[in-house]
Amino acid sequence: MIFKDLKPSLTKVFAKFLLNHYPLRTIKQKLWITLATYLAYCIDKELYKAIDYLREQVRVLVEQQEKQNKRILLTNRQRMRVAAKAKRLSRKMLEQCTVLFTPDTVLGWFRNLIAEKYDGSKNRKTVGRPRISEEIVKLVIQFKKENTR
């Protein structure tokens, strides 16, 4: 057989070790813990690969941006998305991850855009003081003409 020369798989070695050193109940507990740990390791490994890929994309974008010597202009919606994600990170992690913008800039966007959310600016129809009705303007003009002091 072709596979005769191969060493026994890691799972077989691990199973033999467990059977020799622990009772069956403990083996089941250890097996579940090991399985959960391995699953978490695999998921973390994939996430780290994805994060590395995204970081490399950002590096490429930064290099392209530096060649063009132009500022990156974002809309408020884009700023809000970036700021919301940045707010979840610790300050130390944010300083390590942020390449395009400084952490102070991103957190400043968060403060300003959240302040805009609650300041009632969406409910205002016009800027500044409310307009005076035509009726009041006519009365003021009439009073001025009648009282010549």
Residue 54, in any domain of the structure: yes
Provide the 3-class DSSP secondary structure of residue 89. coil
The alpha-carbon radius of gyration of the chain (Å, integer) is 33
Whether 147 has a pLDDT exceeding 90, the answer reads no
Instruction: Note whether 82 and 53 are same-domain residues.
Output: no
CB atoms within 10 A of CB 106: 20
Q: Taking the alpha carbons of 140, 142, 143, 145 in that order, is the dihedral positive or negative?
A: positive
> Residue 4: its pLDDT value, please?
41
Mark which of 54, 70, 86 sits at the end of a domain.
70
Instruction: Note whether 63 and 94 are same-domain residues.
Output: no
The region of weakest confidence among 23-32, 54-63, 95-104, 123-132 is: 23-32
Whether 8 has a pLDDT exceeding 60, the answer reads no
Residue 75, in any domain of the structure: yes
Give per-residue pLDDT as tens, 107-122: 898 888 877 777 776 7
If pLDDT is split at 50, 70 and 90, which confidence band does 94 have? Answer: confident
pTM of the prediction?
0.47
Instruction: Note whether 87 and 63 are same-domain residues.
Output: no
The region of weakest confidence among 5-14, 26-35, 72-81 is: 5-14
If pLDDT is split at 50, 70 and 90, which confidence band does 7 have? Answer: very low
Instruction: Note whether 12 and 46 are same-domain residues.
Output: yes
Instruction: Note whether 78 and 104 are same-domain residues.
Output: yes
CB atoms within 10 A of CB 109: 21
Instruction: Note whether 55 and 97 are same-domain residues.
Output: no
Evaluate whether 22 touches 30 at the Cβ level (below 8 Å).
yes
Distance CA 91, CA 22 (A): 45
Instruction: Note whether 21 and 66 are same-domain residues.
Output: yes
Burial code of 81-99, b = ≥16 C-beta within 10 A, e = fewer? ebbeebeeeeeeebeeebe
> Residue 13: its pLDDT value, please?
62
Instruction: Note whether 49 and 22 are same-domain residues.
Output: yes
Whether 11 has a pLDDT exceeding 60, the answer reads no
Residue 130, in any domain of the structure: no
Mean pLDDT of the chain: 76
Q: Which domain holds residue 60?
A: 8-70
